[in-house]
Structure 1
C-alpha cells in the first residue's frame, strides 16, 4: 500500500470522527456535569414558567402535557404545560365552594382522583380538559386527605375514618372493600405493589400488606410524629417529617423497617427520579439531593427565591413542577429536561456547531472517496 493510499485512509478516518462528533458531544457534556450523572458539580435548576392562582395551592400531579393543581379555595386547575415556559389554563374541576377543598390528587389515564376533605373521594374525567366530567364519588362522612391509586383500587387516607380501600373499576359506583378505623388522622398514602405506606399524623408510618385488599394486614410501624409525605424506591422508604427532617428506611423486611440514614432539613413533600431526590420544605423552598448512596444523600442545589410555602412537587420529562401556597405553580428546567430547545440553549453554539460538523464530515468523505477511486 503506497503512501498516498495510507494518507487518504487517515483523512477518511478523520472525516468520520468529525461526522460522529455531534453524537459524541452529549457524552462529553454528560461527563463534565452539565447533564449530571452521579456527581455533585454544576447541577442547577432554572425557573422558566409560572401559573398564578393566588389561593391556597397544595398538590400538583403531571401526566403528559397536563398538570392538575389542587387549590383549597377554587378546586382543581387543569393546565396545559406542553410549553413549560407558557402554561395555559384549560379547565377547572370541583370549582364549587367546598367546605375546605381538595388536598392530595392522583392523575392517571386522564382520570383525576381527589381526596376532597368533607366531599370524600372524587373521581373526574379530564380527557377533554376544557370540559371535565364528574364520574363518581365515595362519601362516607369522613374527611379525605391522602390518595393513591393502583390497579383500579383507590387507597384513601382520612382524618376520621382512618385508612380506606375502594374499588374504582366502575368510577360511577366506587365500592369500599375495607376500612381500618383503628388509626387516627391518616394523611399521605403511597402504594408499591402489595404494600401500602400510610402516615398517621402525630404517630408516624404504618406499613400494610394489601395483597388481599379486602383483608389488609398491618405489618409494622415506625415512629415519626410529624410525618407529612412518604415515597418508596425499591426497598428504600423516604419519609418526610416536617421539622423532624427526612428519614431513610430499609424496608427489605417490611415487618421490620430499619433507619439507615437521615437529613436534618425541613421537609414537606418529595419526589424521586432516577438517583435524584427532590424535596419541598415550606419557606426553605426546593432542595435536590443525589441519592446514588441512599444512606448518605448529597445536596446538589436548592431554590427558595419566592417568599411563600413550597408544598406540592412533581417531575415530568425532567421538568420540575412545584406549588407555592398563596401563589400557584412554578415550573423549573433541570439538566434532565428532555425538551430539545432547552438542551440546545444550555450548550452555546450547539446547533451551529452540529450543522458545520456534519457538513464538513460529509463533504470530506465524498472528496476523499472520489480521490481514492481515481487512484
Structure 2
C-alpha cells in the first residue's frame, strides 16, 4: 500500500512538471500572452520579439527656430503663436523690454493662429485642431479642451458669442462653426465648403471672410446653425480683412489695399484703393491709419482719414518677411519670419521706429535658404551639441532632459550643417567655411581652434576616425562632390591628405569600418581601403539593386552595415569587408529614410511615408537575418524635415529642422510575452521546481 502511494505522488509530480514545461513553451511561442510592464529589455524572463512591444515617448525638446505665425494683444500681454515653439505669452507693459512670462506647449507644436476672448485663448494647430486654453493667469496657462476636426492647414479663428469660427484649407476651404460654451467639450454645429477662406473678422452679427479666390464674403450669423451668405465683393486674390466704421479694409495679392463701403451689407461698394509695394498679408486700422504687413516691403502705414484718397504715411522695412501684425496704443507688433517679433513705435506714423525685438524664432531668409535650422545633433550623457544653421554650434545642458537648457553657443558668419564630437573637440561642417574645429573642453565656453575654409566649401557631413577627419562636401556649382581626408592629430593645424571624388548625386552617404571607407550612392556601394589615409584606394564597387531600392542613409555598427532605402531598412554582413552579404530587411517602412542610427539591439530610422508625414521607427536587430519593427510612432510634426538622429544609452535625439531637437525615449511598456529566454535559468527553475515538488510529495507520503 505504501508503494502505491509513492507512485501516485510521483505521477502527481510528473504531471505538474509537464504542465510547467508546456506553460513555458506556450508563453515563449506566443500562444499564451500575459500583460506585463517590461522594466528591463535585457531581462531573461521576457521575450521582446513581439511586433511593436515598445512605444516611443517624448521626453523634452529644445527649439529656438520657431516662426512667429500670429500675434494677439490683450492688455499688457502679447500672445505669440510660434510655429514649432508653441504659445509664448509676453509681458509688454514696457514695450522696450518685452519679457516671456510663460510658455504653453500642451497639444500644440504646429501652431498657426490665435484669438483671445474673455481670458481664454483659442488656438489653431495643424496637428491638434482647435486647442482651448485658460489664460486668466498669464503666468500659468491651463488647458481646457480640444476639438480635433481633421484639419488640413488652419488659416484663422475668431469668436462669435459661444462659438468659434474656424477656417482651414480642407475641401476647397472650410468655414466651421464650433460650439465652445463648454470649453472642455467643444463640438462642430455647422460648416461651409468651397469658401477658400484666408482671414476672418467679426462685427456684431456679421462675419467678414477674406476669400482668396472670391474676394470679400459676408455672412449673417444670427442663426449659427444656418449662417446666411448675404453679400460679397469680388477681388482678384483676397488675403485679409479688417472692418471699422462700416468700411472694410481688404488686402489683395494684386491690388494692394482696397476700401469697401459696407453701409448696405447686401451690396458692398468700392471706395478706393492703394497699391502696396509687395504682397499685403495682413491689415489693421487705428486712428485713421491702416497698417499693412507686406512680404518684402515691411510695414506700410496708409493714411485713410479721407477714405476716398488713401495715401502713404510712413514705412518700416529692415529686410524681413512680415506675415502678421497687431496694434496696441502707439505700438505695432510684427511677426517677422526672420527676426521674430518686432515692436514698432508708431506714435509718429510718418517715422515708425523699432524699439524692441523678441528673437525667439525666425529661420527663413528671402533666398529660400534655411538660415536658422537644426541640421544635426550629437550628444553624450551630459550635453547635446547642435548644428543649428546660422546659430552655429549650440551646446545644451541635459541635466533635466525634460527642459534642456542652452548654456553656450559658438557662431560667426557661417551656417552649421553637421557636428561630430570626439574628445574635447567638436568638428563642425559649415556651408561657407568648410570644417571648423571647436574646443569644447569647457562646454560653457567653446572656442575656435582652426578651420579649413581654403580647401572645402558646402561641407555637409564629417566623421572622425582616430587622428583623421573625413568630410563630405559639395562644390559651389552643386555639380560635384568630394570626401576630403584631414590629418587632425594636431587640431590647431589640420592637414589635407587626400580628396576622393564621389560624383555628386542627391542620394549619397558614407561610413567607416576599420580600414575601410564605404560610400553608398543610390544603389551602388563603393569600398575604399584607407589603411593609408594619405593614399586611399578603391577596392570594389557593388550594385545593390538586386536587394534594395535607392539608398538614403547609411550606418555601420560592428560587422554590419545598415542602409535606409526608399523600400525600408536593409542589413549587410561585413565580416568580409570587400564582399558585403545581404542578411535581412524590413520592407515598406519608409518612403524616404533620412537617417539611420544603430545602438545596442535597435536600429532607429527617421522616415517619411508616401503622404510626406515624418516619423521615427525602431527596428529590433538582435537577429540581423530577421529584423522586426519594435515600435512605430507618428507623433512627429508634419510638414517639417527630419534631418538627423543620435542615440545615447538613455535618449534618442532627433534634429528636426524648423522644430529644433526632439528628445524621446524607447519605452518597453506595451504587452510583452512572459517567458524564459535563458536556457540556464530555465534549467535552474526546473530543478528547483522538481526538488520542491519531491519534498511536498515525500512529506505527504510520510503523513499517510
TM-score (norm 1): 0.74
Task: State the 1:223 CA deviation.
Answer: 4.2
* Correspondence for 2:462 among 147, 150, 153: 147
> What are the Cα deviations for residues 57-92 of structure 1, in whole angstroms up to 9, with x where unaligned?
121100231111112232221101122111000111
Partner of 1:217: 537
Query: Whole-Å Cα distance in 2 between the matches of residues 81 and 73 of structure 1?
Result: 22
Partner of 1:108: 422
Partner of 1:251: 574
Query: Whole-Å Cα distance in 2 between the matches of residues 221 and 49 of structure 1?
Result: 43
- Whether the 8 Å CA contact 2:430–2:457 is kept in 1: the answer is no
* Correspondence for 1:159 among 439, 459, 474: 474
Task: State the 1:226 CA deviation.
Answer: 4.4
- Whether the 8 Å CA contact 2:456–2:473 is kept in 1: the answer is no
TM-score (norm 2): 0.41
Q: Does 1:44 align with 2:359?
A: no
Identify if the C-alpha distance between structure 1 residues 105 and 137 changes in structure 2 by more than 3 Å, giving closer, same or farther: same
- Whether the 8 Å CA contact 2:647–2:653 is kept in 1: the answer is yes
Q: Does 1:327 align with 2:645?
A: no
> What are the Cα deviations for residues 254-287 of structure 1, in whole angstroms up to 9, with x where unaligned?
2222323233323111111111111111433100
Relative to its length, the structure with more helix (as a share) is 1
* Correspondence for 1:56 among 330, 349, 373: 373
Query: Whole-Å Cα distance in 1 between the matches of residues 502 and 653 of structure 2?
Result: 35
Which segments of 5 or more consecutive residues in structure 1 lack a partner in the other structure?
1-30, 337-375
The 3-state SS of whatever aligns with 2:416 is coil
Query: Whole-Å Cα distance in 2 between the matches of residues 184 and 203 of structure 1?
Result: 14
Partner of 2:400: 83
Higher relative contact order (CA 8 A, sep 6+): 1
* Correspondence for 2:604 among 275, 278, 281: 278
Partner of 2:634: 304
Query: Whole-Å Cα distance in 2 between the matches of residues 205 and 112 of structure 1?
Result: 29
- Whether the 8 Å CA contact 1:189–1:197 is kept in 2: the answer is yes
Q: Structure 2 matches for 1:230-269, cutoff 5 A?
A: 230-241=554-565, 243-262=566-585, 263-264=587-588, 265-266=590-591, 267-269=593-595
Task: State the 1:171 CA deviation.
Answer: 1.2
Query: Whole-Å Cα distance in 2 between the matches of residues 310 and 199 of structure 1?
Result: 20
Identify if the C-alpha distance between structure 1 residues 226 and 114 changes in structure 2 by more than 3 Å, giving closer, same or farther: farther
Q: Which stretch of the first structure deviates more once superposed, 137-146 or 44-53?
A: 137-146
- Equivalent residues, number: 303
- Whether the 8 Å CA contact 2:595–2:644 is kept in 1: the answer is yes
- Whether the 8 Å CA contact 1:47–1:330 is kept in 2: the answer is yes
The 3-state SS of whatever aligns with 1:231 is strand
Identify if the C-alpha distance between structure 1 residues 236 and 80 changes in structure 2 by more than 3 Å, giving closer, same or farther: same
Query: Whole-Å Cα distance in 1 between the matches of residues 53 and 654 of structure 2?
Result: 22
Partner of 1:365: none
Partner of 2:617: 287
Task: State the 1:212 CA deviation.
Answer: 1.0
Q: Which stretch of the first structure deviates more once superposed, 55-64 or 38-47?
A: 38-47
Flag the structure with larger Rg: 2
Task: State the 1:203 CA deviation.
Answer: 5.9
Q: Which stretch of the first structure deviates more once superposed, 262-271 or 77-86?
A: 262-271
> What are the Cα deviations for residues 176-208 of structure 1, in whole angstroms up to 9, with x where unaligned?
1111226435953322221112234x5643221
Task: State the 1:300 CA deviation.
Answer: 1.2
Partner of 1:199: 520
Task: State the 1:293 CA deviation.
Answer: 1.7
Query: Whole-Å Cα distance in 1 between the matches of residues 428 and 382 of structure 2?
Result: 19
Identify if the C-alpha distance between structure 1 residues 296 and 269 changes in structure 2 by more than 3 Å, giving closer, same or farther: same
Q: Does 1:120 align with 2:443?
A: no
Query: Whole-Å Cα distance in 1 between the matches of residues 502 and 378 of structure 2?
Result: 30
